[in-house]
Chain A
Amino acid sequence: MANALQFLTFSDVWRSMGPEIIVIGGAFLIMLVELFLPASLKRVSPWLAVLALVASATVLVIRLGAAVTTYSTPAYIVDDFGSIFKLIILIATLLVILLAIADRSAESLPYEYSYLVLFATGGAMVISSGVDLVTLYVGLELLSIASYILVALYRKSARSAEGGLKYLIIGSIASACILYGLSFLYGVGGSTNLGQIGVNLQSGWTNYSGILYLSLGFVLVGIGVKVSVVPFHLWTPDVYEGAPTPVTAYLAVVSKAAVLAFFLRVFVWIYGQKFGQWGDIIAWLSVITMIVGNIGALPQRNVKRILAYSSVGQVGYLLLPFAAVGSSTLLNDMWQALSSIAFYLFAYMFMTIGAFAVLAKVAEARASEDIDAFAGLYRRSPFLAGMMALFLLSLAGLPLTAGFFGKFMIFLVAFNAGQYWLGVILFATSAIAFYYYFGILRAMFTREPAGDQERVRSSPTLVVVVALCALGTLALGIAPSPLMDVLNGLHWFG
């Protein structure tokens, strides 16, 4: 009985959870440091967070493409699927923190955001790698609870508190739905491990199909709320408008990417074998999300709400590849769909955070997020106006930008799977999107500035964030092949 006792050494844990340890450990450290720093030095705490994120991303990139590692009879798996989502999450968090550092308006974020964002990011990373119902749910709640606080972080602002309250109530109802659905999954599968449940269900589907569809319904509703798929999207514009702008960018990118990872992991591993019977639901959800999200943006006057509705529409595009190929029995189609989702997430990250960065600066200068605040921006700051134009055109899908190539890849996936109608709706809704983005472009380039003509001065940090996002948007649009090669070479689930 030499092997009866197995000790868990730190190096075992480090091998599988290194990036997460850096992020969450860093969050605790910053929390302590921030407490004892004098008020004049508190501004270094976000830079410590930047340091933790860079270190974590470095560890992650070094390990990309290594063999699959599992941890704790596998509650935790380090495969390429999780790694690529973690990479997106880390880069997006880095850009968001830089944006928050750049935002030095009168009502700036309290420095608590630096570790709250790291906790949320830790949760998002755990979701990407968790293969156990407990791990997945704990990660999801860590992300959600930290996000509730982040939204309500402007303690003096009524809109921020209201947005936080709405997000908290809707989000916790969604969490409860997901948990209730997962409890049935545990009951039928007899284990909390996704792989084990998948094996047990191969015989279980015939006996327990009713209860399994019930659990699928609850989990789908909960996830639908969290990523704002259309019938459950009504909270999105309100919360995005109330939240501080960097937090809005965080919710729009990191939160969505992480919950999408949860969705793909659970639905591919557990419910995947009966895809033919529920795949149409995803296709229809994707279609109404694209249509309603893009049409809902048309009557809006507040740029933050326009971007919120546009981000709802983008979720439709992100669901589309999965809906299109799920019924295919070819594994290759599935990998192609996953790489198109990951590529679009990269593109979506750069253009969305870029647009929110410009919006944050313009709204700060005019103390308004209305479309009128953008009037004559070209005169007041040619740089910001040009960059905003690039991000909006990319979101709409103009050729030579990342948004176009991402949509084109999604279209190809739908086309190869023979789901032509999905591809047609993708391009039809993009045409609608052009209309409301042109409203902002027109205000920036053709109208006279409303009010003073003073130039908008952007801080160096803001210029760096905007330039990085613009670089990403253009690079993925003009030369997408390096990222495509990386994505095509991945072994998604090991």
Chain B
Amino acid sequence: MLTLAFDTATAVAASALVDDGEVLGERFSRAVTLLEDIDALLRQAGAHPSDLDRLAVGIGPGSFTGTRIGLAVARGLALARDLPAAGVSTLAALAAGADRAAPVIDARRGEVFVAGPFAMKPDALPFEPGTTCVGDGALLYRDLLEASGLVVPPDEDERHRVRARFHALLAREFGPADEIQPLYVRAPDAEQMKA
């Protein structure tokens, strides 16, 4: 079962090609060059787009535009090759790659996304002291988190990175890609103004 997995919700776009649990390749770049990575992954594995069996795609939360790029790519691939797809929470994928540490993703505007998912101020996270926090939000607010007794691994620790192999691992229910919705968590700006 050849699964193509990718996630563009955070600043680093992650992709992986996984064959029945065996990671054939994994790449990192930016959302707009995601298809270059996908192309390279398949070429390295000697595979053709028609060899793909299914897609696992990150649904955020994270950057609205970034998340949509990944989902739009999933919709295009699914339409072209009639592939089933599953959405995977970016928070869940981060946690799966970090021994179930608490994932903390930058939500901009001084907030982070945490499991729930919720958008919260980084100085008031509902975690036990001593909890390990991973993700770009944990790196961005390292000082605040450490001041509240939370543990943030060193910057270069790879647990901070979203890795698409975990999307392939976590993907459960495969269905039409068109029906996979992003986890925005926040309403669009205009909606907020009305509220």
Instruction: Decide whether A and B are members of one complex.
Output: no
* B residues at A contact (CB < 8 Å): none
* A residues at B contact (CB < 8 Å): none
